[in-house]
């Protein structure tokens, strides 16, 4: 089973009915279902739960809130004083309510709703690995001077990255951090471009820079490595090429090391702050913050999650980091979601939100959309739309752990294409601010406009999505499909 809800990906080997069921997640009405409070008797032997406590940022208030955390039966696990975010642990059933009553606390709530040591069955998602015989056949079809598997990379050609590479492959002074489930930096297509000094694990909510902490917990957790390859796989005569093969790539792990690779707010806050403090120019965010697909301001726990993640990404932006995020795979019109509910981090102000396209440049069937929400579009793949490659696969081919390659699809695959083009823009314009980069990313995009015919991806006669807008900006493509060639010309 593919866990779309956190990874924003679809495995190509999964039956469509199962994939679509997994992609739906929780609708906003369900998002208001807060974790059930436990009685005092239950709490006595209970395991601690992680909480986010957001405060005013003056030192006195922060100190007083930390004291209040202890008095309410909690412990301060870590604190990001510069943004007023404290990560606390407590088993007290009324901990959140007590903290919300403390002067200076702006919001407080549980981030997971489950004990910290709780585990669930493995649900890592699917990737179709490329076999040796397939690789040999593709290599014969690749042009001389191209990477061995480049004939299979329809996505590079869709954003003109193959042409851009002949002009500018990107600067080694630019780093894109893959905030995800881990990156295998030993992969031969990634090793040369990987930046260990800008990588860490943020799974616990505080950075762990132990060497290798950024790697996936298991080989089957391929998502982050796949994303990294799309961004910056080297042009080294091995395997595939990335959109920006000359830039650096880092890995910041945020998913829990076992179970369903859940990505909680404390890990995401840690990742944004770490990236900003370590000179990362661009972050790629192909996930949404668990455990809810949409977080709503009328729920105290979710309000705290929104506040904390927004503070962290705004901090990163102020420090010079552009944050790029996948739009999601639940086929939702994001403009129809209640106004007090958002998907994190994609719908936060300043974040570049990326929808997914197929091998024919059409909206991918799974991709979320929405006029005024989608900034740009990029290849995410679509299993129902074959490509003009040797295999005809509709998914995106990239790196996976263990020195291998595989196909995946989803807005998770679209976002790194946009991150790669943003890295090329940053390489060409090193002094550009995040806001300027965001504007340039929109300006260089190619917009195909809304389709002439009603959008009916499965041909059943039912309109599956309505594209609002025009050829300049619309709900399917935003300002258009990113263009690597325009970024370097």
Cβ atoms within 10 Å, residue 453: 7
Q: Is 233 helix (H, G, I), strand (E, B) or coil?
A: coil
On the question of pLDDT at 18 being above 70, the answer is no
Contacts of 326 (CB under 8 A, 6+ apart): 8, 285, 286, 287, 288, 346, 354, 356, 410, 411, 412, 414, 415
pLDDT tens digits, one per residue of 206-248: 999 999 999 999 888 999 999 999 999 999 999 999 999 999 9
CATH 3.40.1190.10, applies to 36-110: no
pLDDT of residue 142: 81
For 121-139, write each residue's pLDDT tens digit.
333 347 888 888 888 888 8
Nearest to 474 by CA among 482, 483, 466, 463: 466
Q: Does domain 125-488 have CATH number 3.40.50.200?
A: yes
Report percent pLDDT > 90 for the chain: 80
Whether the CB-CB separation of 159 and 406 falls below 8 Å is answered with no
Does the structure show a pLDDT above 60 at 466?
A: yes
Task: Write the pLDDT tens digit of every residue in 340-388.
Answer: 999 999 999 999 999 999 999 999 999 999 999 999 999 999 999 999 9
pLDDT for 45 equals 53
Domain chopping of the chain, boundaries: 36-110, 125-488
Paired tokens of 450: 């809304």
Sorted by sequence, the CB contacts under 8 Å of residue 151 that are 6+ apart come out as: 138, 139, 141, 142, 143, 389, 390
Predicted confidence at residue 285, as pLDDT, reads: 98
């Amino acid at each position: 089973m593919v866990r779309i809800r956190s990874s924003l990906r679809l495995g190509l080997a999964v039956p469509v009915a199962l994939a679509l069921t997994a992609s739906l997640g929780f609708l906003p009405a369900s998002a208001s279902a807060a974790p059930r409070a436990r009685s005092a008797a239950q709490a006595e032997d209970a395991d601690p739960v992680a909480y986010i406590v957001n405060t005013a940022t003056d030192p006195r208030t922060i100190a007083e809130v930390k004291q209040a955390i202890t008095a309410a039966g909690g412990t301060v696990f870590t604190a990001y004083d510069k943004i007023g975010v404290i990560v606390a642990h407590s088993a007290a059933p009324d901990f959140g309510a007590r903290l919300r009553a403390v002067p200076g606390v702006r919001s407080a709530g549980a981030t997971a709703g489950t004990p910290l040591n709780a585990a669930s069955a493995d649900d890592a998602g699917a990737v179709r690995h490329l076999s040796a015989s397939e690789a040999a056949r593709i290599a014969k079809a690749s042009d001389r001077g191209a990477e061995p598997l480049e004939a299979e990379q329809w996505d590079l050609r869709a954003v003109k990255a193959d042409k851009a590479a002949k002009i500018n492959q990107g600067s080694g002074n630019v780093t894109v951090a893959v905030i995800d489930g881990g990156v295998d930096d030993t992969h031969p297509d990634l090793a040369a471009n990987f930046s260990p000094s800008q990588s860490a694990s943020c799974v616990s909510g505080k950075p762990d820079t132990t060497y290798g902490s950024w790697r996936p917990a298991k080989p089957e957790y391929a998502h982050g490595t796949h994303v990294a390859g799309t961004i910056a796989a080297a042009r080294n005569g091995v395997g595939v090429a990335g959109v920006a093969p000359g830039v650096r790539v880092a890995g910041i792990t945020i998913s829990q090391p076992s179970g369903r690779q859940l990505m909680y707010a404390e890990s995401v806050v840690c990742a944004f702050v770490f990236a900003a403090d370590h000179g990362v120019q661009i972050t790629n965010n192909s996930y949404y913050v668990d455990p809810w697909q949409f977080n709503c301001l009328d729920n105290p726990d979710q309000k705290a999650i929104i506040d904390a993640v927004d503070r962290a990404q705004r901090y990163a932006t102020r420090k010079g980091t552009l944050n790029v995020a996948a739009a999601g795979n639940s086929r939702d019109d994001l403009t129809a979601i209640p106004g007090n509910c958002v998907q994190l981090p994609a719908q936060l102000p300043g974040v570049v939100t990326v929808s997914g396209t197929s091998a024919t440049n059409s909206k991918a069937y799974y991709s979320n959309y929405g006029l005024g929400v989608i900034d740009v579009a990029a290849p995410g793949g679509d299993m129902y739309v074959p490509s003009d490659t040797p295999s005809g696969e509709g998914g995106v081919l990239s790196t996976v752990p263990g020195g291998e390659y595989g196909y995946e699809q989803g807005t998770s695959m679209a976002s790194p294409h946009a991150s790669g083009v943003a890295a090329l823009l940053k390489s060409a314009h090193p002094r550009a601010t995040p806001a300027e980069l965001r504007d340039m990313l929109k300006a260089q995009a190619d917009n195909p406009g809304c389709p002439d015919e009603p959008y009916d991806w499965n041909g059943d006669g039912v309109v599956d999505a309505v594209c609002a807008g025009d050829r300049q900006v619309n709900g399917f493509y935003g300002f258009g499909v990113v263009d690597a060639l325009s970024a370097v010309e």
